Structure 1
Amino acid sequence: MTVNKIIYVLDTNILLHEPFAFLSFKEHDVVVPMTVLEELDSIKDRNKDVSRDARVAIRALEDTLVNASPEQVLSGVKLPQNDELHPSGCLSIFNDYALDESKVKLSFNENDNRIISTAIYLQAQNPKNKVVLVTKDINMRLKAKGAGLAFVEDYRTDQLIDDIQFLTKGYHQFTGDFWQHVKECESETQGRNTTHYIKRDLLPNSYINEYLIDEGEHFAGKITGGDDEKLSIVDLSRERLMAKQAWGIHPKNIYQGMAMDALLDPTIDLVILTGPAGCGKTLLALATALEQVIERGLYDKIIVTRSTPEIAESIGFLPGTEEEKMAPWLAAITDSLEVLHKQDENMNGSLDYIMDKANIQFKSVNFMRGRSIQNALVLLDECQNLTASQLKTIITRCGEGTKIVCSGNLAQIDSNYLTAVTSGLTYIVERFKDFPGSSNINLNGVVRSRLASFAEENL
């Protein structure tokens, strides 16, 4: 064992979160306790999304160790090398069942304790090396520290930000009047559109398709391009943003106005809506979808999908077709449809007509893999519960002429394996922030009711 090498002991949840995580530790050594393999084995046959990740992790480990002898598996097998300049470390399986129970500090009855004991044993056997237990389980990190393990870490390779407060909002709000901050500006007008060219120094950390607003409630613009020196900004004006209309719905605040501008823009292929419960994410997405499918004829159909919570991931026990089974999980969509048509003389008749006219299809995320979706508007709701790989699977299904709207509330994550900073929703917000075909809006403010607004602020 090289003195400078770090020994990383992986917990099961790391391999469930990212099955190829053991390849991410560069020149350092990775140890997978036998208990982790047993936990993966028990999870791989469950009827849950994580069972697929468990199978992928097992297969990846087997591919790495396939030609190794039992002695090599215990001592360490060289991991694939990325390049000649950066040598890789070794992967080994540690038989934690061979530990002397009388010499460990924790009860051997729990799997977590066995994994912690493995790290403590390796720490004692390799005093010149740093031994790190890597786990996403906060309580396990506390237990490991209490048991005497010096180094415990979360897995952060997939985290693009350290704190959710640093997540880009999709807009910049200036104090006072916007023009007070601008020292030099060139403008040109074509038809009804005016483009301003300002120095990038005013907004050094800005990206294409981000919006600009001010507290003076006069200016509203959108970044359409730029270089290292200048930014081009289209002057939208607040009046035009607040006058947006889709299926009888008007924006209630400037944040909804920016969202509707992005949702109705045919040049934008991906719209990401984040924000608290009751800020209008689902209603705006549905209203603009109906407007573009039925009134404007830009798309042939609306496909609505969402992740089913872990407490009920299996939809097989519900009666009916796939769409009928998905109906309970997509009640937010049908609720929004009722809001849009509550003034109609025969609301149920209107809903049936619209469902048929817009060709609204309810699909399960579980069955999206392998599809190719053409000329459709896809509404992906509650995607804070999806991992980055799951969201990639869905977004890569979108073919020519398809627009996808991803919405979610990072404060309401149901998955045991995700946090706000590791959610797939956070991941795509950061990954797509400088993509010309995407727009991200954080809908600040609850408009559902004063009760919902008070609850969001005070509970």
Structure 2
Amino acid sequence: MDDNARKRFILDTNVLLHEPLSIYSFNEHNVVIPMTVLEELDRIKDRQKDVSRDARQAIRTLESIFHDATPEQIVAGVPLGLQDDDASGTIAIITDKHLPQGYAMFTDDEADNRIINTALYLQHTMTGMAVLVTKDINMRLKAKGAGLQHVEDYRSDQLVDDIRLLSKGFYHQENSFWDRVGECESETHGREVIHTVADELLPGAYINQYLIDDTEDFAGRVLEKIPHKIRFVDLGRERMMGRKAWGIQPKNIYQAMALDALLDPSIELVILTGPAGSGKTLLAMASALEMTIEKGIYDKVIVTRNTPEIAESIGFLPGTEEEKMAPWLAAITDTLEVLHKQDECMDGSLSYIMSKANIQFKSVNFMRGRSIQNTFVLLDECQNLTASQLKTIITRCGEGTKLVCSGNLAQIDSNYLTPVTSGLTYIVERFKDFEGSANVYLNGVMRSRLAAFAEENL
């Protein structure tokens, strides 16, 4: 590729913190690291937070590339292909403290503005397209307002371009499913009836995808994909709607599908998405108590969620780790109260259940390095977690552990995440065809008439 066709990608600090090896994601194009980015990495690397580890990894990656390069080579660009054969472009470091007169749109010393000034300078003076890559939404707006023609989010880890394309975990057939299928192969295994149909009847089907139609009697789940055929188990909508967990019965077919996945020990990862009030946390906690206390499948229940500031610090709160986590996990205690509000002494019931099920509240920050065995793990509000943070938690799960990830992609609080870049979106797509996982979008708000109206009209 000639120089005119190559793009120059100027990386912001948050891109390297989001993925320290992101410099290898630009293939044959050239990567530019402004000096301001190195200064910010230097300030971050000694913090007592998870982000400091990513800063140190990014610094080590850059050092491994530049360790034998001369100052002239660093400015001109060092080939990336020496470290990664797929990356045939170059990487350079540019000094952005004092740009030539007339090129600085911003005159202050703020880090983001210096990086934007660098991108504007490269746009005016270098051949090829200059593209600023940043996960900071406001910085993208500032750069465009300053005259930068090409500004992008880091998209190498985005698996869907539009959140409306995200898998909902079920296939809905209009009218009657059986009218469309006609005759098919069927076999009985104990109480289960398994059907085999041609794969063109279920386009894009994947393992553990649920099947429903407009009738009141059909529901199924895909078990296996074989050449040109798909095998699915007939669950029966009436049977699914009649299942209970800790006294909780599904109110619609979406909750019934979620409960089926939650109560199946062979499904080790359940991902629940949907609007506020759709029943994600209630169903997960009811299933956790049912499978831990009643069935004895799991030894304990661990409830965790990210704390504010992108899962950073909870140290300013008093008490033990579980006492520190209590304010962030009020939704769980509210759910436990709902499950036991009819008891004669609710406080006594809650204390007994917390002890009997060995319910533990943990922070995401302290999950690293653990190996969790025979445990029901509920990760609540995980729409605010990145893919790497979710990987940290999922890789902690050992034998006999079930992980439930729940979240609402319309309630993202992170400065750098959007619905398409959330770790929740990432794992929905990554685990879509894994036989040990199921994903269900809970359609409809069951919390109250007021909550349903607010979700639809506000």
Q: How far apart are 1:356 and its partner, in Å? A: 0.7
Question: Are 1:123 and 2:102 an aligned pair?
Answer: no
Q: Given residue 420 of structure 2, which amino acid in structure 1 is its aligned partner?
A: V
- The C-alpha deviation readout for 1:66-110, integer Å capped at 9, x for no partner, is 3323332222222244666x5622211110112034443333443
Greater shift, 99-108 or 294-303, is seen at 99-108
**Could you tell me how far apart the structure 1 residues matched to 2:119 and 2:38 are?**
16
SS in structure 1 opposite 2:240?
Answer: helix
CA contact 1:184–1:199 (8 Å) conserved in 2: no
How far apart, CA to CA, are the structure 2 residues paired with 1:428 and 1:165? 16
CA contact (8 A) 1:48 1:310 kept: no
CA distance in 1, matches of 2:136, 2:384: 17
> How far 1:125 sits from its partner (Å)?
2.3
Q: Is the 8 A contact 1:47 1:314 kept in 2?
A: no
Per-residue CA deviations over 1:2-38 (Å, capped at 9, x if unaligned) read: 3432211111221222222112111211001112222
Counterparts of 1:94-113 in structure 2, within 5 Å, are: 94-113=94-113
TM-score (norm 1): 0.95
Residue 35 and residue 403 in structure 1: after superposition, are their counterparts in 2 closer, same or farther (change >3 A)?
same
Q: Which residue in 1 is equivalent to 2:61?
A: 60
Alpha carbons 2:213, 2:219 under 8 Å: kept: yes
| Aligned-partner Cα distance in 2 for 1:418–1:117 | 24
Q: CA deviation at 1:47?
A: 5.3
Name the amino acid aligned to 2:60: R
1:24 counterpart SS class? helix
Contact 2:7/2:30 (8 A) holds in 1: yes
Contact 1:271 1:439 (C-alpha < 8 Å) held by counterparts = yes
Return closer, same or farther for 1:312/1:289 CA change in 2, 3 Å cut-off.
closer
Over residues 139-182 of structure 1, what are the superposed CA-to-partner deviations in whole Å (9 max), with x where a residue is unaligned? Answer: 43333334333322221100000011101011011111111221
Q: Tell me, what secondary structure is at the counterpart of 1:50?
A: helix
Deviation of 1:194 (Å): 1.1
Residues 373 and 397 in structure 2, CA contact (< 8 A), matched pair in contact too: yes
- Work out the CA distance in 2 between the residues paired with 1:349 and 1:399: 32
> Aligned with 1:181: secondary structure?
helix
In the alignment, which residue of structure 1 is the partner of 2:164? 165
Which is further off, 41-50 or 104-113? 41-50
Deviation per CA, 1:407-446: give whole Å up to 9, x if none: 1111111111211111111100000000000000111111
Q: Secondary structure at the match of 2:26?
A: coil
Which 5+ residue runs of structure 2 have no aligned equivalent? none
2:224 is paired with a residue of what secondary structure? Answer: strand
**Alignment-derived partner of residue 27 in structure 2:** 26
Partner of 2:300: 301
Cα distance in 1, alignment partners of residues 286 and 323 from structure 2: 22
Distance 1:46 1:17 in 2: 16
Do the aligned residues in 1 keep the contact of 2:24 with 2:84 (CA within 8 Å)? no
Distance 1:171 1:42 in 2: 46
Corresponding residue pairs, total = 457
- The 5 Å alignment of 1:184-203 reads 184-203=183-202
Per the alignment, residue 279 of structure 2 pairs with: 280
Deviations 1:290-332 (A, max 9, x none): 1111110101111111110118842112121111111111111
Alpha-carbon contact 1:18-1:53 (below 8 Å) kept: yes
Cα distance in 2 between the residues matched to 1:348 and 1:26: 59
In the TM superposition, what is the alpha-carbon distance from 1:48 to its structure 2 partner? 4.7
What is the aligned partner in structure 1 of residue 114 from structure 2? 114
Q: Which residue of 2 aligns with 1:226?
A: 225
Indicate conservation of the 8 Å contact 1:17/1:417, yes or no.
no
State whether residues 101 and 108 of structure 1, in contact with CA within 8 Å, keep that contact through their aligned partners in structure 2: no
- The match for 2:237 is 238
1:108-131 Cα shifts (integer Å, max 9, x gaps):
44322221221222222223x122
**Percentage of identical aligned residues:** 69
Q: What does 1:194-213 correspond to in 2, within 5 Å?
A: 194-213=193-212
Q: Which amino acid aligns with 1:36?
A: V
Contact 1:375 1:401 in 2 (8 A): yes
Distance in 2, Cα, partners of 1:265 & 1:71: 61
RMSD: 1.8
Kindly indicate whether the alpha-carbon contact (under 8 Å) linking 2:217 and 2:237 is maintained by their aligned counterparts in 1: yes
Partner of 2:246: 247
Structure 1 residue identity aligned to 2:66: L
Question: Take 1:439 and 1:430, find their aligned partners in 2: how far apart are those partners?
Answer: 11
1:90 aligns with 2:90: yes
Offset, 1:187: 1.5
1:350 aligns with 2:349: yes
Kept in 1, the 8 Å contact 2:311–2:364? The answer is no
Q: Tell me if structure 2 keeps the 8 A contact 1:177–1:218.
A: no
Say if 1:292 and 1:299, in contact at 8 Å, map to a contact too.
Answer: yes
The answer for the alignment partner of 1:50 in structure 2 is: 51
Give the conservation status (yes or no) of the 8 Å contact 1:106–1:113: yes
- Helix, strand or coil for the counterpart of 1:305? strand
* Partner AA of 1:394 in structure 2: I
Whether the aligned pair in 1 keeps the contact of 2:24 and 2:87 (CA below 8 Å) is no
The separation in 1 between residues aligned to 2:208 and 2:14, in whole angstroms, is: 36
Structure-2-length-normalised TM-score: 0.95
One-letter amino acid matched to 1:278: G
> Take 1:113 and 1:326, find their aligned partners in 2: how far apart are those partners?
37
Query: Aligned to 1:98, what secondary structure does the other structure show?
Result: coil
Q: Distance in 1 between matches of 2:103 and 2:372?
A: 58
Q: Supply the distance in 2 between the matched residues of 1:109 and 1:299 (Cα, whole angstroms).
A: 55
